[in-house]
């Protein structure tokens, strides 16, 4: 896989984990934050021989942009990134609209008749949004082998070529069972799995698990 | 497992499939319908050497009652079954509040901040509601071996003994990975997985699949 220029929006554990994996795979990454002097982004950049900057700088740099911001703040962060900087870009949306304001369990701030993936696509019609990787812990996102057996990751988006690019990257992360659900409207399904995911995390006492879609088609094909 | 008296509410494919399996396992079942002369229920009863009757008759008969009615009509059906007939009973809720009035994909008539399982428990505080089996096709519910590998079924409910009784029955159906999510409030998770399930059915082109919660704890323990 050729080296790509990738903007990573968000300095939380998801952004840092994704950014580190992308650099390890030989891609050029800029971590974008609200402020150009975000200490977490600077420390991550220093440690990974990468760069940091604003959301806008990271988005402008990347041919692919990862939205790793908190789902409740993603639309605002992408506004700051700038529609022009996202135009024509593959925008990989990993976020979940989890509202923890009433404690655990959180609710979804958008669900059922809409999804955050769709809202992001509407807000940035020129971006090629692909929803993926939002259904597992970030450690599993970049290292599916942490969870035994063959398990699944979903992709949703309107642009087939964008989904192909993202799927190639997912394979580089180690994913084998990549399920294309359809257009960005199908992001509702993976986003609405979060309440079950969060309960399972509490029940199991850890986050090293993932959903697998078990079916005859892939039964003999070990990951 | 001792023979039980079980009321099966609902004459659709879910009710008939569950009822047939219960009879095959040696339980006594009455299929309940809105009307005492429902032709589908009568035909099922004749074919299975079982009985049919009203919702109220089926609920009164059972020590365990399966709600296999359409989720949009479940609260009304359980009203007809009668609170007194459900008092103290294990009420196994398989229903999903799928609203197809706007076509495919359906939305959930209740979700996110509530669930149908919780609504049923609130409407029938004397019943011991256990939400389960709502996350797969009815053919898989009673024959998990239709799907290869080890895959999962969830139980949610406030009454530990009721969940134990239901889990024993699930094991008799062939289930091995039975995950107790917690109280009836946790039913939101499995109900909200339906939008993803429905998309997967369309993507895969069949319903012989199921979710597995892959994790180290059960990796070496084949079903």
- pLDDT tens digits for A127-164? 999 999 999 999 999 999 999 999 999 999 999 999 99
Given a contact cutoff of 8 angstroms between Cβ atoms, the answer to whether B19 and B44 are in contact is: yes
Given a contact cutoff of 8 angstroms between Cβ atoms, the answer to whether B64 and B94 are in contact is: no
Token pair recorded at residue B117 = 């399982």
In chain A, positions 154-193, which contact chain B (CB-CB < 8 Å)? Answer: 154, 179-182, 185-186, 188-190, 192-193
Give the residues of chain B that fall short of pLDDT 50.
222-223
3-state secondary structure of B97: coil
Contact A179/B208, CB-based, under 8 Å? no
In percent, the amount of chain A with pLDDT more than 70 equals 98
**B76: which residues sit within 8 A by CB, 6+ positions away?**
none
Average pLDDT over residues A200-211: 97
Contact B180/A198, CB-based, under 8 Å? no
Q: What strand order describes the sheet that includes B51-54?
A: B51-54, B28-33, B5-9, B64-67, B90-93, B128-132, B152-157, B177-182
- B139 part of contact set with chain A, CB < 8 Å: no
Given a contact cutoff of 8 angstroms between Cβ atoms, the answer to whether A78 and A67 are in contact is: yes
Contact B199/A182, CB-based, under 8 Å? yes
- pLDDT at site A220: 60
**B195: which residues sit within 8 A by CB, 6+ positions away?**
A112, A188, A189, A192, B105, B108
Shortest CA gap A29–chain B (Å): 31
Contact A215/B180, CB-based, under 8 Å? no
Whether A123 shows a pLDDT value over 90: the answer reads yes
> Which ipTM score applies to this complex?
0.96
- pLDDT tens digits for B140-183? 999 999 999 999 999 999 999 999 999 999 999 999 999 999 99
A14/A137 Cα distance (integer angstroms)? 8
Given a contact cutoff of 8 angstroms between Cβ atoms, the answer to whether B208 and B142 are in contact is: no
Given a contact cutoff of 8 angstroms between Cβ atoms, the answer to whether A87 and A31 are in contact is: no
- pLDDT at site B1: 75
Given A204, A208, A214, which is nearest B151 (Cβ)? A214
Q: Looking at chain A, which residue has its C-alpha nearest residue B198?
A: A189
Instruction: Give the number of C-alpha atoms closer than 13 A to the C-alpha of residue A67, restricted to the C-beta side.
Output: 35
Given A186, A190, A196, which is nearest B190 (Cβ)? A196
> Phi/psi class of residue B205: alpha, beta or left (left: φ > 0; alpha: ψ in -120 to 50)?
left
Give the CA distances from residue B81 to residues A160, B86, B121, in Å, rounded to whole numbers and listed in that order.
Answer: 50, 7, 14
Instruction: Find chain B residues with C-beta within 8 A of A204's C-beta.
Output: 213, 215, 217
B85/B80 Cα distance (integer angstroms)? 10
Residue with tokens 């050497």: B49
Instruction: Give me the phi and psi of B140, to 5 degrees please.
Output: -75, -35
Q: Compute the mean pLDDT over every residue in chain A, rounded to the nearest whole number.
A: 96
Q: Which of A195, A202, A218, A221 to mutate: most B Cβ within 10 Å? A: A195
- pLDDT at site A1: 75
For the entire predicted model, the pTM comes to 0.96
Given B188, B210, B215, which is nearest A214 (Cβ)? B210
Whether A223 shows a pLDDT value over 70: the answer reads no
Instruction: Find chain A residues with C-beta within 8 A of B213's C-beta.
Output: 200, 204, 209-212
């Amino acid at each position: 896989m050729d080296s790509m220029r990738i903007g990573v929006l968000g300095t939380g554990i998801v952004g840092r984990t994704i950014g580190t994996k992308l650099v390890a795979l030989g891609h050029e990454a800029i971590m974008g934050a609200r402020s150009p002097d975000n200490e977490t982004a600077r420390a991550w950049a220093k440690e990974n021989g990468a760069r940091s900057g604003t959301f806008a700088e990271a988005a402008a740099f990347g041919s692919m942009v990862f939205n790793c911001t908190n789902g409740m703040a993603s639309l605002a962060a992408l506004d700051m990134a700038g529609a022009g900087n996202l135009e024509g870009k593959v925008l990989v949306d990993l976020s979940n609209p989890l509202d923890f304001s009433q404690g655990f369990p959180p609710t979804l701030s958008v669900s059922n008749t809409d999804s955050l993936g769709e809202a992001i696509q509407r807000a940035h019609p020129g971006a090629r949004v692909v929803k993926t990787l939002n259904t597992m812990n970030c450690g599993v996102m970049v290292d599916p082998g942490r969870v035994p057996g063959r398990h699944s990751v979903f992709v949703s988006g309107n642009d087939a070529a964008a989904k192909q690019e993202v799927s190639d990257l997912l394979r580089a992360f180690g994913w084998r069972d990549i399920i294309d659900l359809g257009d960005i409207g199908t992001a509702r399904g993976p986003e609405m799995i979060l309440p079950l995911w969060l309960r399972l995390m509490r029940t199991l006492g850890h986050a090293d698990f993932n959903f697998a879609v078990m079916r005859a088609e892939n039964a003999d094909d070990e990951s």
